Amino acid sequence: MEIFLLAITRPKTTPWLSFILYLSIFVPNMILLFNTREFPGQTDVPLLLPTVFSSLAIIVIMCMPLRDPRLPVDDISPVFGKPTQDRRTPEDNLTILQFMTVIWMSPLIALGKKRQLHGEDVWDLGYEFKHKRLHENFRELRGSVIKRLLVANAIDLILVSLLEALSLFASMAYVRKVLRTY
């Protein structure tokens, strides 16, 4: 049902709730599959179908832009563009996949391999990370300092937690596979 809703509404940016929904379907099913026999059989089809469909949905969502593509991109450096202080970081115009793989940093890393980096070699900060904007947003938040910090950094905390959980899951699957061979 969710897939049809996404196909009809065709969101312009990453639908975070759908991403979390499909991830919450995919991860438990993968855990169940890894805890079954060596190779899934015909009896595992009910477990395989949601896993396959949720993984496809996750891949599609990960290729969607994080930022509304209708917004101007004139001052944003392209993903594989030359780093310069005259343009904002490509981080302002990425997909989840590009963000997770940090592939947008490759021009800066390549330049850093050749020579020492200087201020003019590094992109300007992204819109969301400008000091004035961060300061104003933080001042508008109400509550204790800890609550304000958690609210202000919620997206980063969620992304880092999800990436760490994925890393932990991948390493556990590898260890389990290695242990089965012994």
pLDDT, tens digit, for every residue of 52-71? 888 888 888 888 888 777 77
Q: What's the start-to-end Cα distance of the chain, in Å?
A: 44
In tens, the pLDDT along 92-121 reads 888 888 888 888 899 999 999 999 999 898
Q: How far is CA 129 from CA 2, 16, 32, in A?
A: 33, 21, 40
Q: What percent of the chain has pLDDT over 90?
A: 5
State the pLDDT confidence band at 80, using cuts at 50, 70 and 90: confident
Q: What percent of the chain has pLDDT over 70?
A: 87
CA 15, distance to chain mean position in Å, is 12
Mean local confidence (pLDDT), 18-30: 86
* 64, 14 contact by CB (below 8 A): yes
State the pLDDT confidence band at 182, using cuts at 50, 70 and 90: low
143 three-class SS = coil
Q: For residues 60 and 92, what is the distance between their CA atoms, to the nearest angstrom?
A: 20
pTM of the model: 0.60
Helices (H) and strands (E) in the chain, counts: 8, 0
Give the pLDDT confidence score for residue 180 in this predicted structure.
72
